[in-house]
């Protein structure tokens, strides 16, 4: 093995560790800091510590910590997929990286049009962060999308983009859009405010409800096992046999399918809302040189 191959494989190993170690560190941190609990306990993100602040303390919770762990893992995955890509050399990871890029570019192009082609990296990042955040529940860690603050922040960012593109033709055109038609002005204002709220609660509610249902079903199966098999002697009467396999099958829907579906829906709504907010014809009339 020459030096270049050895260096290439060493960097690959480091990037793989960059993907795995943050999640492993999160699991270790939770094991060391999570308090002992009896029975079914459904609660929000655990607070690690507080930073004093004049108005109110800043809470550092599982949400922030796990979000950063996911970001580091995604960066490691992106670097791994693009490591060693060069013209004339085709590899499986290159095919996968190209497929991800082309799929996201095609999705943005078909839903937003050519004017918004530059949104592809943003939508890709949103998809990846949302999907991996929801999938954190598979590792036993708190999924950041189960915290309303996370989805509300993403929805607020989308709302800022919507407002920005609505005002591309000027504040007057933006304010005039609320009175189209004049009779529906109050409903148009309510609809504008409701957009980020509905996006935030839809994503948060679906992910959180899936986690809650999974916990309740697992606990119920444990109790059912005790009722049906509790009379058996020794180990056989204590082991929760019904909790083997069934929760895993349900997890395929609640944790994997539902999480990925909500990530796709959130990204799709972002594209449709932003693209639909841009008055393209009016913009071309007012700015023919830019159009």
Q: pTM for this one?
A: 0.83
Local structure of 264: helix, strand or coil: helix
Here the tokens at position 13 are 């190993």
**Considering only CA atoms, which of 224, 227, 221 is closest in space to residue 244?**
221
In a domain, 135, yes or no: yes
Cβ–Cβ < 8 Å for 119, 161: no
In a domain, 291, yes or no: no
In a domain, 221, yes or no: yes
What span, in angstroms and rounded, lies between the C-alpha atoms of 73 and 59? 23
pLDDT tens across 69-91, in order?
A: 999 999 999 999 998 887 777 78
What span, in angstroms and rounded, lies between the C-alpha atoms of 166 and 173? 8
pLDDT tens across 113-157, in order?
A: 888 888 999 999 999 999 999 888 888 788 899 889 999 999 999
The distance of Cα 10 from the centroid of its chain, to the nearest Å, equals 30
pLDDT tens across 204-260, in order?
A: 888 888 777 777 777 777 777 777 776 667 666 666 666 666 666 777 777 788 888
In a domain, 235, yes or no: yes
Here the tokens at position 178 are 């609320």
- Is the model more confident about 79 or about 290? 79
**What's the number of domains the chain is made of?**
1
What span, in angstroms and rounded, lies between the C-alpha atoms of 61 and 189? 35
Give the number of other Cβ atoms within 10 Å of residue 142's Cβ.
24
In a domain, 154, yes or no: yes
**Considering only CA atoms, which of 259, 256, 262, 212 is closest in space to residue 43?**
212
Which domain range does residue 277 map to? 3-286
């Amino acid at each position: 093995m020459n030096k270049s191959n050895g260096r290439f494989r060493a960097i690959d190993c480091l990037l793989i560790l960059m993907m795995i170690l943050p999640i492993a560190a999160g699991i270790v941190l939770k094991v060391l800091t999570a308090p002992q609990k009896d029975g079914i306990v459904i609660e929000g993100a655990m607070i690690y510590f507080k930073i004093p602040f004049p108005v109110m303390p800043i809470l550092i919770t599982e949400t922030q910590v796990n979000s950063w762990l996911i970001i580091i893992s995604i960066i490691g995955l992106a670097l791994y997929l693009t490591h060693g890509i060069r013209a004339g050399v085709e590899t499986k990871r290159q095919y996968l990286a190209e497929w991800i890029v082309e799929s996201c570019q095609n999705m943005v192009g078909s839903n937003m049009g050519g004017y918004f082609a530059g949104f592809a990296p943003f939508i890709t990042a949103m998809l990846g962060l949302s999907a991996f955040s929801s999938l954190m529940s598979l590792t036993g860690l708190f999924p950041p999308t189960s915290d309303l603050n996370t989805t509300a922040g993403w929805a607020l960012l989308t709302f800022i983009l919507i407002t920005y593109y609505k005002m591309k033709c000027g504040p007057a055109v933006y304010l005039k859009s609320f009175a189209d038609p004049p009779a529906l002005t109050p409903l148009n204002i309510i609809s504008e405010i409701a957009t980020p709220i509905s996006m935030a609660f839809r994503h948060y509610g679906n992910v959180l409800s899936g986690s809650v249902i999974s916990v309740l079903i697992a606990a119920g199966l444990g109790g059912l096992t005790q009722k049906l098999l509790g009379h058996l002697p020794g180990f056989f009467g204590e082991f929760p046999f019904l909790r083997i396999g069934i929760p895993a099958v349900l997890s395929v829907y609640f944790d994997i399918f539902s999480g990925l579906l909500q990530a796709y829906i959130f990204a799709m709504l972002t594209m449709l809302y932003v693209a639909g907010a841009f008055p393209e014809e009016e913009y071309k009339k007012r700015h023919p040189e830019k159009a």
